[in-house]
Structure 1
C-alpha cells in the first residue's frame, strides 16, 4: 500500500494518512492520533507540531501489508532525525533507488536536496515503533540559536541550510538516554496543556541527545563514549554468560572481547542496568548461587566454594557475611534444622 502525504506541517501529514486509512484523527490539545483500522493493521500514529518549527511523528503500529509513505511536496523538506525503537523500517530519498534499512535501536539524520522528498517503508506483519523529529529550518532559525555556536561544523551547516541546498545522510545507533526519552514520551499520562509542553520539552531533549551522539560518533581521536541501546544487548549476553559459567573466574577483558565491545562500555552498561560493576555483578551472582546451594543441596561449604569458582574458603566466608550479614554456616544449620 502506498500512502502519499504532504511533508509539513505535522497536522497535514496526519490528515493525509487518515484519508488513506479512512480513519479519524483524534485531537488531544494539539497532539493528533490515528488508530490504525483493523483491516489495515493495529496500533497508532501520532504527531504534534510546536511553534519553534519542530514537530514529531511517531508510528507505533503493525501493518498487515507492506506500506510505503511518500513525503512529497513541491517545497523544501524538513531536516529529519528518525529513530527506530522496535521492529524495522527503511528510508530512501524520493528520487533515489538506494534504500537504507533501520533495525531496532538505529537512527538516521536526513536532509533532502531541493524539493526532493522522502519515503519510509514498513514491512508487513512487523511490529514497528519509529519516530521522526521534523525540523522546518526556516522557522527554527528564528529562535535565538546563538549562530549554532560550538556545534559540529557539518551539523551547523545542516541547520543553517534553510533552503535545503545539500543532501545529507547519516546512520548510527541511538543512545540509551534517547531510548529512555522515547519510553517517557509514550508512557507519561499527562493530558492537555501539560502533555503539550511535556512533549515539546522532551523533543528538545531528544534533539540534544541526537546531536551529541552524532558528534560522539564522528570524533576520530577516541572511541565512542555514549552508551547505545544496542550495547544493552551485549550486557545481557555477558550477564547470561556469567550465569552459565559461575565456576569459572571470567575476566572483564575476556567478557568484553567475547561480546564485541570494550571494557569501558561494558562497565558502563552494567552500571546502567544493574548499578554494579562487572566484577561486583559476578560476585553477587556467585554468592546468590552459594546461598541457594547452602539451603537446598547436600554440598558442604568447601564443595560450594569450588562450585562457584573460588579458591579461598576464608575469603568466601568474609564476602558472604558482608552480603548477607551472617556466616555461611548459619544456612547449614538452618538446613539441618529444617530436615530434622
Structure 2
C-alpha cells in the first residue's frame, strides 16, 4: 500500500500537497485546482475549489494502480466533511482511533474529528472511485449563519457550532435521489468560467441543503423516512427488470421487494414516484402490454397468452384487458387482423 501525507489547509494547499505526493504539478484555473494522476499512479483527476462562507468542494474521480491511503494530518481543527460515493468504494477512519468506516456506492457520511485528529481515506486499487467531499470551515460558516444556527434544531446546530472540535461526529446513510440528480447535473454542465463558478457554488450549497434535509429525515427512523434514496431508485429499476423477465411466475410483489432490499412501503412509494402508479398497477400494465404484443405477433391461444403473462384467471385477464384497451382480447385480435388484411 502507498501512502500520501497532506499537512495543509485550505483546499489550494491540500491540492498542492496531493500533487507533491504524486510527484506532479497541479493546475489553477480561476481558483479551481486540478491534479491529473501521473500514469505510474493510475488515471483520473482530483479537483478542489473554495467558496465564500467556509464551503469547499473536493472531487476524486480516479483509479489507482495500488491501494492508496491518503492521510489528512494538520495541527489545526479539520473541516466538517460531507462525503458522497458515486462510484466504487472508500474506507474512512480518524487518524488516532483507526476504526474504519466503509463507504459504498450511493452512500454518504458526515464526519468531524475531535481536536486536531486527522482523517484517513483508503482507496482500493484498480477500482474507479468517484467521491464528492463537501468541506466546511465551521468557524467561518458559523459566523455567516450565526442567527440562523441559533434558531435551528439542536441536532443540526451542535454539528456546526463545534468549531473547536470538542467532540467527534459520524453519520452514514444513503444519499437521496435528488442528490443523485444534482451530481449528474454537476458532471454534465458545460458552462465556462463565470457561469461555471457561480453554478458550482450554488450546487455546493444545494448539496448541503439536501444533505441536511436527508439527515433530518434519517432521524425519523426507517419506517417514517419520506425521502427517496438513490440506492432505492436503483432497486426499483432492478425490480422492474425482474418483473419484466418473470411475469409468468410472479406470485408476490413483497417477495420482489425483499429481493431488491426494500420495505413494502418504500417499494410502493418508489413505483408511485417513478411511474405514477402502485407496483401492482405497474405489474398489470406490463402483463397487459405483453399480452397485446403476443396477440399481434403470435398465433398463441388466449389461454396460452394468459398463462405467459402471469394471469391465473381467464375472466380476470379479459376484464383487465378490456379496462385498459376498451376491447376484449379476442376482439382486439380480430380487429387487428381485419385491419392488416385491408392494409
Q: Structure 1 pair 191/240, CA: closer, same or farther in 2 (3 Å)?
A: same
Corresponding position of 1:317:
322
Q: Which residue does 1:329 correspond to in 2?
A: 334
Task: Give the 3 Å change call, closer, same or farther, for CA 259–149 of structure 1 in structure 2.
Answer: farther
Matched residue of 2:143: which SS? coil
1:21-32 aligned within 5 A: 21-32=22-33
Note the C-alpha offset of 1:318. 3.4
Measured in 2, the distance between the counterparts of 1:150 and 1:224 equals 23
Task: State the secondary structure of the residue aligned to 1:146.
Answer: helix
Q: Residues 105-133 of structure 1: CA distance to partner in whole angstroms, max 9, x if unpaired?
A: 11111111111110111010011011111
Deviation, structure 1 residue 20: 1.6
Gaps (5+ residues) in structure 1? none
Matches within 5 A, 1:1-340: 1-149=2-150, 151-220=152-221, 222-248=223-249, 250=251, 252-310=253-311, 311=313, 312=315, 313-321=318-326, 327-333=332-338
The 2-side partners of 1:23 and 1:276 are apart by 54
Does the 8 Å contact 1:41/1:62 carry over to 2? Answer: yes
Kindly indicate whether the alpha-carbon contact (under 8 Å) linking 2:75 and 2:116 is maintained by their aligned counterparts in 1.
Answer: yes
Whether the 8 Å CA contact 1:296–1:335 is kept in 2: the answer is no
SS in 2 for 1:133: strand
C-alpha contact (below 8 Å) 2:247/2:310 kept by paired residues: yes
1:249 Cα offset (Å): 6.1
**The 10-residue stretch of structure 1 (68-77 or 26-35) with the greater mean CA deviation from structure 2:** 26-35
Alignment partners' CA distance in 2, 1:121 and 1:145: 35
- Distance in 1 separating the partners of 2:222 and 2:273: 25
| Secondary structure of the corresponding residue to residue 44 of structure 1 | strand
Change in CA separation of 1:221 and 1:188 when aligned onto 2, cut-off 3 Å: closer
In structure 2, distance between residues paired with 1:331 and 1:247 = 25
Whether contact under 8 Å (2:77, 2:165) holds in the other structure is: yes
Distance 1:220 1:283, change over 3 A: closer
> How far has the Cα of 1:219 moved from its partner?
1.8
* Partner SS, residue 165 of structure 1: coil
What is the aligned residue count?
336
Deviation of 1:47 after TM superposition, in Å, equals 1.1
Higher deviation after alignment, 243-252 or 9-18: 243-252
Deviations 1:1-48 (A, max 9, x none): 211113521111111111122333223322222221221111111111
Distance 2:240 2:10 in 1: 45
Instruction: Single out whichever of 45-54 and 285-294 deviates more from structure 2.
Output: 285-294
SS in 2 for 1:142: helix
- Residue 133 to residue 171, structure 1, CA distance change in 2 (3 Å): same
SS state of the match for residue 327, structure 1?
helix
Report the secondary structure of 2:82's partner residue: strand
Residue 225 of structure 1, CA deviation: 1.7
Whether contact under 8 Å (1:287, 1:320) holds in the other structure is no
Residues 334, 122 of structure 1: CA spacing in aligned structure 2 closer, same or farther, 3 A cutoff?
A: farther
Q: Note the aligned Cα RMSD (angstroms).
A: 2.5
TM-score by length of 2: 0.89
SS at the partner of 2:53?
A: coil
| Structure 2 portions without partners, runs of 5+ | none
Deviation, 1:252, is: 4.4
Relative to structure 1, is the Cα distance of residues 295 and 150 closer, same or farther in structure 2, using a 3 angstrom cutoff?
farther
**TM-score with structure 1 length normalisation?**
0.90
Distance 1:276 1:167 in 2: 44
Tell me, yes or no, if the aligned pair for 2:296 and 2:333 is still in contact at 8 Å: no
